Amino acid sequence: MKIRLEDLQACFQGVIPATMATADAEGEPNVTYISQVYYVDPSHVALSCQFFNKTRRNVAENPYAAVDLWDPRTFELYRLELRFDHLETAGPLFDTMAARIQVIASHSGMKGIFRLLSADVYEVLSLRRVAEFVDPLASPPAEPADWDPESPSHPPPDQLSELRGLQAISGRIARAHDLEELLATTLAGLDELFTFGHSMVLVPDDRECRLVAIASRGYGAEGVGGEIAIGDGVMGIAAAERRMIRVAGVGTEIRYGRTIRERFADREGRRDLAPEIPLPGLPDARAQLALPLLAGDRLVGVLGFESRDPLAFDEWDEAFLQIVANQIAMGIDRMQEDEEEAAPAVPARPALEAPAECDRKLRFVYFRNDETIFLGDEYLVRNVPAKIFWKILNQHQREGRTEFSNRELRMDPSLGLPGYKDNLESRLILLRKRLAEKCPWVRMVPVRRGRFALEIESAVELIERDSA
Amino acid sequence: MITPELARFIESGISVLVGTRDARLRPDCVRAAGVRADAAAGTLTVFLPAATAERALANLADNGRIAVTVTRAIDHRSLQIKGGVVEVRPSSPDEQSFIERYLELLAVDWGHVGVPRKSTRSMNAWPAYTVHLRAETLFEQTPGPDAGQRLTPEAAAQSHRAGAR
Closest to A73 in 3D by CA, of A320, A209, A249: A249
Q: Do A141 and B17 touch (CB under 8 A)?
A: no
Q: Is B40 on the interface with A (CB under 8 A)?
A: no
Chain B environment of A57 (Cβ under 8 Å): 148
* Contacts (Cβ under 8 Å, ≥6 apart) of A214: A179, A183, A201, A202, A203, A224, A301, A426, A429, A430, A433
State the CB neighbour count (10 A cutoff) for residue A455: 17
Using CB atoms within 10 Å of the CB of residue A54, give its burial: 0 to 12 exposed, 13 to 18 middle, 19+ buried.
buried
Residues of A with Cβ-Cβ distance to B60 under 8 angstroms: none
Mean per-residue pLDDT, A209-216: 86
**What is the per-residue DSSP string for A89-150?**
SSSHHHHHHHHHHHHHHHHTT-TTTS---EEEEEEEEEEEEEGGGB-TTSSPPPPGGGG-TT
Domains of chain A, residue spans: 5-136, 157-249+286-336, 361-465
What is the spatial distance between Cα A429 and Cα A406, in angstroms, rounded to a whole number?
Answer: 12
pLDDT for A7 equals 86
> A348-352, B77-81, B155-159: which range is least confident on average?
A348-352
Query: Which residue from A131, A152, A132 is spatially nearest to A194, judged by alpha carbons?
Result: A152
**Cβ <8 Å between A267 and B113:** no
More confident residue, A462 or A420: A462
DSSP A12: G
Q: CA-based Rg of chain A, rounded to a whole angstrom?
A: 26
Provide the 3-class DSSP secondary structure of residue A20.
strand
Asked whether the beta carbons of residue A81 and residue B68 sit closer than 8 angstroms, the reply is no
pLDDT at position A342 is 44
Mean pLDDT throughout A275-286? 64
Q: By the 8 A CB rule, do A123 and A279 touch?
A: no
Each residue's pLDDT tens digit, B17-30: 999 999 999 999 99
Angle (deg, nearest 10), helices A424-438 and A383-399: 70
- Chain B residues whose beta carbon lies within 8 Å of the beta carbon of residue A146: 116, 118-119
Contact predicate A190/A215, CB 8 Å: no
Which of A13, A15, A22, A32 is best to mutate for the B interface (most B CBs within 10 A)? A32
- How much is the pLDDT for A11? 85
> What does the alpha-carbon distance between residue A328 and residue A348 come to, in Å, rounded to a whole number?
30
Query: Which DSSP state fits B114?
Result: T
Residues 6+ positions from A248 with CB-CB distance below 8 Å: A13, A14, A15, A286, A287, A310, A311, A313
For residue A355, pLDDT over 80 is answered with no
Contact A341, A407 (CB under 8 A): yes
Q: pLDDT class for A26, splitting at 50, 70, 90?
A: very high
Quote the percentage of chain A above a pLDDT of 90: 26
Alpha-carbon distance of B8 to A72, in angstroms, equals 30
Report the pLDDT averaged over residues A38-64: 90
Smallest Cβ–Cβ distance between A29 and the set B66, B76, B145 belongs to B66
A28 vs A157, higher pLDDT: A28
Whether residue A458 contacts residue A396, with contact meaning beta carbons closer than 8 Å, is answered with no
Tell me how far CA of residue B39 lies from CA of A123, A171, B44, B135, B137, in angstroms. 41, 70, 9, 10, 14
Percentage of chain B lying above the pLDDT 90 cut: 59
pLDDT value of position B147: 77
Cβ of B75 and A286 within 8 Å?
A: no
Q: Where are the beta strands (DSSP E) in B24-127?
A: 27-31, 35-38, 43-49, 65-71, 78-90
Q: How far apart are CA B87 and CA A138, in angstroms?
A: 30
- Ranges A28-32, A100-104, A122-126: which has the least confidence: A100-104
> What is the model's pLDDT at position A149?
33
Instruction: Say what the pLDDT of residue B132 is.
Output: 96
Residues A149-190: tens digit of each pLDDT = 334 444 444 556 778 888 888 888 888 888 888 999 999 999
Confidence grade of residue A301 (pLDDT, cut at 50, 70, 90): very high
Query: What pLDDT score was predicted for residue A348?
Result: 47
Task: Give the residue on A whose Cα is nearest the Cα of B111.
Answer: A147
B27 in reach of chain A (CB within 8 A): yes
Q: Which residue has the higher pLDDT, B155 or A175?
A: A175
Nearest CA in chain B to A267: B146
Predicted pLDDT of residue A354:
47
The shortest C-alpha distance from A155 to chain B (Å) reads 23
Q: Delimit the domains of chain B by residue range.
A: 4-144
**Fold adopted by A5-136:** Pnp Oxidase; Chain A (2.30.110)
Per DSSP, the three-state class of B147 is coil
Other CB atoms closer than 10 Å to residue A249's CB: what's the count?
24
Strands (E), A413-450: 442-448
B163, pLDDT greater than 70: no
Q: Closest to A132 (Cβ–Cβ): which among B51, B78, B159?
A: B51
For A361-465, give the CATH class: mainly alpha
Q: How far is residue B144's CA from residue B156's CA, in Å, rounded to a whole number?
A: 15
The correct answer on CATH 3.90.550.10 for the domain covering B4-144 is: no
Confidence class of residue A260 from pLDDT cuts 50, 70 and 90? low
Decide: A384 and A207 in contact? Cβ < 8 Å.
no
Q: Are B50 and A41 in contact (CB under 8 A)?
A: no
Q: Which residue of A has its CA nearest to B78?
A: A32
For chain A, the farthest-separated pair of C-alpha atoms sits apart, in whole angstroms, at 91
Strand pairing partners for B16?
Answer: B70
Average pLDDT of chain B is 89
CATH code for residues A157-249+286-336:
3.30.450.40
How many angstroms away from the CA of A66 is the closest CA of chain B? 5
B48 touches A: beta carbon within 8 Å = no
Instruction: Specify the length of chain B in residues.
Output: 165
**Is the omega angle on the peptide bond into residue A140 within 30 degrees of 0, that is, cis?**
no
Supply the pLDDT for residue B141. Answer: 83
Q: Which residue has the higher pLDDT, A109 or A403?
A: A403
- CA-to-CA distance for B125 and B127, rounded, in angstroms? 6
Model pLDDT for residues B81-106, shown as the tens digit of each residue? 999 999 999 999 999 999 999 999 99
**A61 has pLDDT over 60:** yes
DSSP 8-state secondary structure symbol assigned to residue A13: G
Looking at the predicted structure, is the pLDDT value of residue A356 above 80?
A: no
Confidence at residue A187, expressed as pLDDT on a 0 to 100 scale = 93
Q: Which chain B residues in 56-115 lie under 8 Å from chain A, judged by CB atoms?
A: 63, 65-69, 71, 74-78, 80, 82, 113-115
E strand or H helix at A423: none
Q: Which of A64, A255, A263 shows the shortest C-beta gap to B26?
A: A64
Beta-carbon contacts of B152 under 8 Å, excluding residues fewer than 6 positions away, are: B138
Mean pLDDT of chain A: 81
Share of chain A above pLDDT 70, in %: 78
